Structure 1
Amino acid sequence: MRRLAPHCPEEYPLQPEAASLVQNCTNRRIPSFGREERFGATALARSGIRIPLCSTTSPAASPRVKFASTSAFGAYGTPSLAPNVPARYLTQINDALIHENGPGLAYLLRPTSPPGKALLKNLRAPTAASLAHYKGSLAAPWDEIAIQYVLICTHIAHGRPVEAFKEHCQLVSLFLRFFTESKGWPLPALFTILRDLRDLADDADSHTPANATEENEHKISATHVMQKAFSCCMTDRTSPVEESRKWGVYYVASLIMKCYFKVKKISLTRNIIKALENNTDIPDLGQYPRSHQVTYRYYIGMIAFLNEDFVKAEKELTLAFYNCLTAAPKNQTRILAYLVPLRILRGHLPSEDLLARFPALANLFVPFIAAIRAGDLAAFDDALAARETKLIELNLLLTLEKARELCLRVVFRRVWLAHEKSTRIAIASFHAGLRLSSGPGAEVEAEEAECLVANMIYRGFIRGYISHEKQTVVLAATNAFPRVADRAAPFAMG
């Protein structure tokens, strides 16, 4: 993500700490490998495949880490695989390595890219045995990586996701052997193969029989492989900061956390988060690409939300939302699905203009917001019942149930206004207000009304006390119903 954050809606004011962290990531300088022999000139000659090696002369401008590129090969041109497809593919890998072209290398390792399709057309029913004679065509481990790539493409083309996943795990392991001795320039390729690993794990699990010994077996295996990649990024102690593999830690961490969320093992994210928080050598999160910041903050906010640490959840999700591109409405929707309820609990109701931009969120939250504004308990309860399944799926049911107290506050405040802001109001009046708001046929006992008023006083929604002897609520002369956001613990709900 490159552009500045979208304009902040008035109902979600940008906090100072959020503004200080809205930054663009600068490109990182990456070194060259130096000698072309590193990429197997001798081995190529022995194999009988004549592949012209590119010059090792450095370009006028030193290459830098590229996390995204409009052209996979940048200044080096778009690849073409005709006429000798395997030899040409090996040449392109070699060229990408010599020029330290991370995006180009990522392009060559994607199973769905044109090179993969061209290789399948040229190589008839390739197997590990039939491809063995290509070993030594490039310096290790790239000869084996190229062979693994062809096998992965073959399995995908023939609808064998489980086999494709296993071969891709091997490809990632081979890549990490190279990556451990490298600096930061291959990060785009690492990101690509890890994303493909995650997608293949999803496909493999969807094709696994229901009676399998372990549910989500392939996703769990994928997290183990990703953990190794995370360690490779974290343990770069020799590269200069601007050329370090550490610029990939938050991206890889987010991929791992996404897998843990899918397999419902969120507690396992603790080790990843602790490793990032305790490592003082990695750059500040605000210096990373905004796409890395948004994804990581989203998952940190989600974990805090599920642990009911609503203060931290609101902070992280707010930062994620304001750094998220307006051109990514799906990502904004995911963030707002949890940020909106948190703001509702704080007493900040989102505007109609904001929700109009996100129809799915409007359909989910507008009935609750309308019920809170009107103090209509019956409408609020109806909205909960109608959306119960969706709210359970999103882990939002308990949060929205807590927001019912805001609706209750409006009911009691209107009773207070009807009594011309008197400092003494009979409990019977609050009981009558509850019965009217709960709808026809609803049974509300007088004792329940007294209990609800007592709870509202205890939680800071009302300033006053109850005189049990006179069955009267004694209210403060000033600010009897303080703003929800002004309470000492604004997230303290029932």
Structure 2
Amino acid sequence: MNELFKGFARAYAEQNGYLLAATLSPISPPENPQRLRLILKSSNSSSIKGDIKHLIKSNASHQRGLDHEEIKGWVEVYAAYWNAVGDIVAGEDGKSTWTKVYESWKELTSILIRGYNNFGFEAWTIPCLYMIGKYLRLFAIRSDTERSRNIGDNSGGASLMQDDFDPETEKQGQLRDCEQHLKRIFTLCLNDRAPLEESRKWGIYFIINLLFKTYFKLNSASLSRTILKTLSAYRGDMPPLSAFPKSQRVTFKFYEGVLFFLEENYVEAEKHLVEAWELCHKDATQNLERILTYLIPCRLLTTHVLPTKALLEPFPRLQRLFFPLAQCIRKGDLRAFDVALQEGEDEFVKRRIYLTLERGRDIALRNLLRKVFIAGGFDELKEGETTPVRRTRVPVAEFRAAICMGSGGELVDTDEVECLIANMIYKDLMKGYIARERGIVVLSKKGAFPGTGV
């Protein structure tokens, strides 16, 4: 444990919050795989607080005015950390559970929060909140998985006797509990009234991103809006987003974009996702792939831009999912589009993009109808005319024949074809009107198919 507090002393001497946070890691580093076991063996439950106090005083009490109250706070934190390490090591030996690990880590979280409220922990130490919050969420997820598995193994007839049993709530009970503690950290950072250079507000976006991830995992993404509304009320007292680390900005912009996406505000979604994309380093392939997963459907619906093979080549999973759809949309192949959408359904639903991609069928239909329009050629030039004008009066029967072919030979009656065309006109994917009594569609002479150049 002496090495642990040498790290603590060095962090205090340099006021390096990330170095300090590393001393609270629940993971042994590759260069020292026995770190947690050595920490656990270095003391016992009856003397741990005394040992920690002695080590802090001997290693770091002289560093930058570490006073009595602050030492007292850190003793409580590292004693709770030692207890959590005990449960982690016991779990590795098959003698504990993830639920016990979560509970002990939750206690550590509460004690660390108390350190900021009662013992004067300085703002430079906020990376400790990052470390604690990050693993609180991961341990909650593992605990829920463990508990869900145990409930499934032992349920027998018990659930038949519990009319109020909610399996979904039970599955994620620990993560819901974790969300409450993450909100405590959010409030701790947001409400700090110290000058910005000494403020805990510098921890706000990391915690917001953890909350976003938690809400999405809980299928409660809409709760993220509450966090954003609270944040907006403090904007004047906050450092600008541009002043925060790039990784935090990328994650924040990504989740903002996805929130707009889920609210079907695709223009705003695209704006935020593009910002996230531009912030990403080009070798951050995983982040770029996540952003593209939502950016592609946005652009499909806002500008009708389809992904190219070159764009997708660095992302084989996305190429497998999106390129078949893109080809079908370009060709106006309705039947093949339905098949491609069905084949990727599980992944599209998981990513919450299925319903958006389903609307791509309208773009495929637009492209199919446009082919009919182009194939119709030009009207004969009238006397005095020199510029050819495309035929703008197209028989409904021609559109019907194309739709039947695009649907794999399935017969589609005229009324349904007229309904499809009327829907295209309503959605501004075509410009014109249907003259039913004459059995024709009268298209606009300019921009009959917006966004395509004709």
TM-score, shorter chain, exceeding 0.5: yes
Partner Cα distance (2:82, 2:453) in 1: 59
Partner Cα distance (1:470, 1:424) in 2: 10
Aligned-pair CA distance for 1:207:
1.4
After TM superposition, the structure 1 stretch with the greater mean CA deviation from structure 2, 93-102 or 393-402, is 93-102
1:161-310 equivalent positions in 2, closer than 5 A: 161-180=98-117, 181-208=120-147, 209-210=150-151, 214-239=170-195, 241-279=196-234, 280-310=236-266
State the secondary structure of the residue aligned to 1:425.
strand
- Residue 93 of structure 1 aligns to which amino acid in structure 2? F
- Residue 165 of structure 1 aligns to which amino acid in structure 2? Y
2:449 to 465, 475, 481: 481
- Residue 277 of structure 1 aligns to which amino acid in structure 2? S
1:353-364 equivalent positions in 2, closer than 5 A: 353-364=310-321
Identity %: 35
In the alignment, which residue of structure 1 is the partner of 2:407?
Answer: 438
Structure 1 residues 273-321: Cα deviation after superposition (integer angstroms, max 9, x where no partner): 1111111211221222111111111111112211212222111111111
Aligned-pair CA distance for 1:427:
0.6
Partner Cα distance (1:192, 1:135) in 2: 20
Aligned-pair CA distance for 1:467:
0.9
Partner Cα distance (1:214, 1:135) in 2: 38
In the alignment, which residue of structure 1 is the partner of 2:358?
Answer: 401
State the secondary structure of the residue aligned to 1:474.
strand
Partner Cα distance (1:288, 1:415) in 2: 53
Residue 351 (1) aligns with residue 268 (2): no
Q: Which runs of 5+ in 1 are unaligned?
A: 1-85, 487-494
- Residue 203 of structure 2 aligns to which amino acid in structure 1? G
Residue 426 (1) aligns with residue 341 (2): no
Partner Cα distance (1:102, 1:431) in 2: 68
Aligned-pair CA distance for 1:88:
4.1
In the alignment, which residue of structure 1 is the partner of 2:386?
Answer: none
State the secondary structure of the residue aligned to 1:319.
helix
Aligned-pair CA distance for 1:134:
3.0
Cα 1:445/1:135, change in 2 over 3 Å: same
Contact 1:107 1:113 in 2 (8 A): no
Indicate the structure with greater helix content.
Answer: 2
Aligned-pair CA distance for 1:87:
3.7
Aligned-pair CA distance for 1:385:
1.9
Cα 1:261/1:431, change in 2 over 3 Å: same
State the secondary structure of the residue aligned to 1:327.
coil
Could you say which structure has the greater relative contact order, defined with CA pairs below 8 angstroms and 6 or more residues apart?
1
1:23-422 equivalent positions in 2, closer than 5 A: 86-114=1-29, 117-118=34-35, 120-121=37-38, 123-124=40-41, 128-129=45-46, 131-134=48-51, 136-137=53-54, 138=56, 139-159=71-91, 160-180=97-117, 181-208=120-147, 209-210=150-151, 214-239=170-195, 241-279=196-234, 280-345=236-301, 346-420=303-377, 421-422=390-391
- Residue 310 of structure 2 aligns to which amino acid in structure 1? D
Q: TM-score, normalised by structure 2?
A: 0.83
Aligned-pair CA distance for 1:179:
3.0
Cα 1:378/1:119, change in 2 over 3 Å: closer
Contact 1:116 1:150 in 2 (8 A): no
Cα 1:295/1:431, change in 2 over 3 Å: same
Partner Cα distance (1:485, 1:261) in 2: 40
Aligned-pair CA distance for 1:434:
0.7
Aligned-pair CA distance for 1:446:
1.1
State the secondary structure of the residue aligned to 2:437.
coil
Q: Which runs of 5+ in 2 are unaligned?
A: 57-70, 92-96, 156-166, 378-389
How many residue pairs get matched?
399
Q: TM-score, normalised by structure 1?
A: 0.76
Partner Cα distance (2:214, 2:421) in 1: 45
In the alignment, which residue of structure 2 is the partner of 1:42?
Answer: none
Cα 1:123/1:450, change in 2 over 3 Å: closer
- Residue 369 of structure 1 aligns to which amino acid in structure 2? A
